[in-house]
Structure 1
Amino acid sequence: MAKNIHPDQRYIIGLINNDTAIINDIYKRCAGKVRSWITFNNGSDDDAADIFQESLMDIYRQAKYKSLELTCPFEPYILLICKRKWLNAIKKRSVLPVTNSEEDLLLIGEDTFANADYLESQEQQSKLFYEAFEKLGDRCKEIISWSMKGEAQEKVAEALGVTYGYLRKKKSECMASLVKIVQSTKTEF
């Protein structure tokens, strides 16, 4: 059975040919997401830059020497590679010994492309959430943003200059509005 080569194969070809426009596009589309994910997961901007560069080099080597043919979108593919590289880097830095449990051994043969598809669907869901979030009023955006930082609600209420009871009620209303917007957007497609 022939593989269906994804149109994003152009990124692989661009890497092999050192096409500046394609490489700039890869950085523009993907580097910020990798940086956000790595810094959110205890890394620095330098860590993110290193991981991204190493991942691009790995893809380049796979393409040049092993004829990599992309059957999924490029962006989730590189994000998955970066994520795995960063998780491995964290394990290497850890002072605790790293042991493989049976569960870890089962994951070794995971289908990379299924993971890439999963990442793409996660990205689409995030995009849908952020689009819905932008449609909320300023006060709701502020309350939800503060709440997502993981602060205790008492501290959030104090920072926003409202009572704890008001914050809980307003947050509930804002979340309901957000869910409603997301659901109405989903039915449009």
Structure 2
Amino acid sequence: MEHSDQKYIKALVTNDEVLVKEIYRKFSGKIKWMVLKNNGTETAAGDIFQEALLSICHKAKMYDLVLSCPFDAFIYTICKNLWLKELSKQKAHPVISDDEGLEIGEDNTKLAEECLMQEQRVNLLNEKLDELGGDCAKLLRLNWGGKSMGEVAQELKMTYAYARKKKVGCMEKLIGLIKRTPQFNSLKW
């Protein structure tokens, strides 16, 4: 069954400027976070995100791609696989790769499971961010939404140094909240 986020696939195919900007605004921050957390740079994260969008657009045009899971889980999975391939090329880490790989257009049980797990991770993360509340939640959401720490500091009326220090503390609190949940181990963070 077609997911309501199919609108993002259509936006990429038709080059709908408003929705494509929304894709960047809503989803690029999570990819940036994932790449930075795994020995990457902001530039690499941007490149991976762009490559994933181009690949989705290409496959959607060729195979009439129908999205059956949330777009954020879908793009996250694609970017994660692209980043693992990039790390493998760089030999920054020994990466155990799956020889069969994930084709974007194919009906793949593994992709569906990963989409579901990623959706559950995002839901837990958002739940714990809400629980964290206040400046911490706002700071993390702004930064993960694609804003630089300089922009975040300015928006929250903090110095850059204080915003960076506060981010570390907020991340520690958030990680603590997440680790104390019963579903933490089952979501394979």
TM-score of the alignment, normalized to the shorter chain, above 0.5: yes
Q: Relative to 1, partners in 2 of residues 1:120 and 1:133: Cα closer, same or farther, differing over 3 Å?
A: same
| Deviation of 1:146 (Å) | 7.4
Structure 2's unaligned 5+ residue stretches are 103-107, 137-165, 183-189
Q: Relative to 1, partners in 2 of residues 1:106 and 1:11: Cα closer, same or farther, differing over 3 Å?
A: closer
Aligned to 1:36: 33
| Deviation of 1:134 (Å) | 2.0
After superposition, what is the alpha-carbon deviation per residue over 1:89-125, rounded to whole angstroms, capped at 9, x for unaligned? 001100677676xxx5588775212211110110000
Is 1:148 paired with 2:172? yes
* Separation of aligned partners in 2, 1:11 and 1:147: 30
Aligned to 1:132: 131
* Separation of aligned partners in 2, 1:7 and 1:95: 38
Q: 1:82 aligns with which of 79, 83, 89?
A: 79
Is 1:12 paired with 2:36? no
Structure 1 segments of 4 or more deviating over 4 A?
95-100, 104-110
| TM-score, scaled relative to structure 2 | 0.65
Quote the sequence identity (%): 30
Aligned to 1:71: 68
Q: Secondary structure at the match of 1:111?
A: helix
| TM-score, scaled relative to structure 1 | 0.65
Q: Relative to 1, partners in 2 of residues 1:98 and 1:5: Cα closer, same or farther, differing over 3 Å?
A: closer
How many residues end up aligned between the 2 structures?
A: 144
Judge which range, 108-117 or 9-18, deviates more: 108-117
Report if aligned partners of 2:87, 2:93 keep a CA contact under 8 Å in 1.
no
**Which residue type is aligned with residue 125 of structure 2?**
S
Q: Alignment RMSD, CA only?
A: 3.4
* Separation of aligned partners in 2, 1:33 and 1:98: 21
**Which residue type is aligned with residue 130 of structure 1?**
L
After superposition, what is the alpha-carbon deviation per residue over 1:151-185, rounded to whole angstroms, capped at 9, x for unaligned? xxxxxxxxxxxxxxxxxxxxxxxx6xx68xx89xx
Q: Spell out the pairing of 1:165-184 with structure 2 (5 A cutoff).
A: none
**Quick one: higher RCO (CA 8 Å, sep 6+), 1 or 2?**
2
**Which residue type is aligned with residue 148 of structure 1?**
E
Larger-Rg structure: 1
* Separation of aligned partners in 2, 1:132 and 1:95: 36
Is 1:27 paired with 2:24? yes
Aligned to 2:154: none
Aligned to 2:119: 120
